[in-house]
Amino acid sequence: MRKQERRQQDALPPPARRAVPNLDALKRRLVVPLAAARHYSGKAMTTLTPSFEIEQTPYVMLTPQMEGISRTALGKEVDGLSSHRHEIISAIDFLVTGI
């Protein structure tokens, strides 16, 4: 290994330092509103606006209305949608890329 290559490699941070920073430090959150599915019967694009059930009520995710809001503006958490992660990521991907 040449001297210049060794210096460049030594300048790289260890993997632990390249980790994603803690998101708690951010003052805003990216949120997507949910609306009662009864208002969107037959109108929803399932890839862009997937539906979920929260407390036995169906909701549609309004992905095109996604925005960043202050953490202090958020209410209390009602339910978690982590089990629908794939659908949520697919909807955001479709919004951004169109495919």
Q: Does residue 95 carry a pLDDT above 60?
A: yes
Does residue 15 belong to any structural domain of this protein?
A: no
Domain of 65, CATH number, reads: 2.30.30.110
Does residue 17 belong to any structural domain of this protein?
A: no
Q: Does residue 34 carry a pLDDT above 70?
A: yes
pLDDT tens digits for range 58-84: 999 999 999 999 988 988 888 889 999
94 contact partners, CB below 8 Å, separation of at least 6: 47, 48, 63
Number of domains in the chain: 1
Name the pTM for this structure.
0.70
27 contact partners, CB below 8 Å, separation of at least 6: 70, 71
Does residue 18 belong to any structural domain of this protein?
A: no
Does residue 19 belong to any structural domain of this protein?
A: no
Does residue 77 belong to any structural domain of this protein?
A: yes
Rounded CA-CA distance 96/62 in Å is 14
Q: Provide the residue range defining the domain that includes 40.
A: 25-97
What is the phi-psi region of residue 89: left when phi exceeds 0, alpha when psi lies from -120 to 50, beta otherwise? alpha
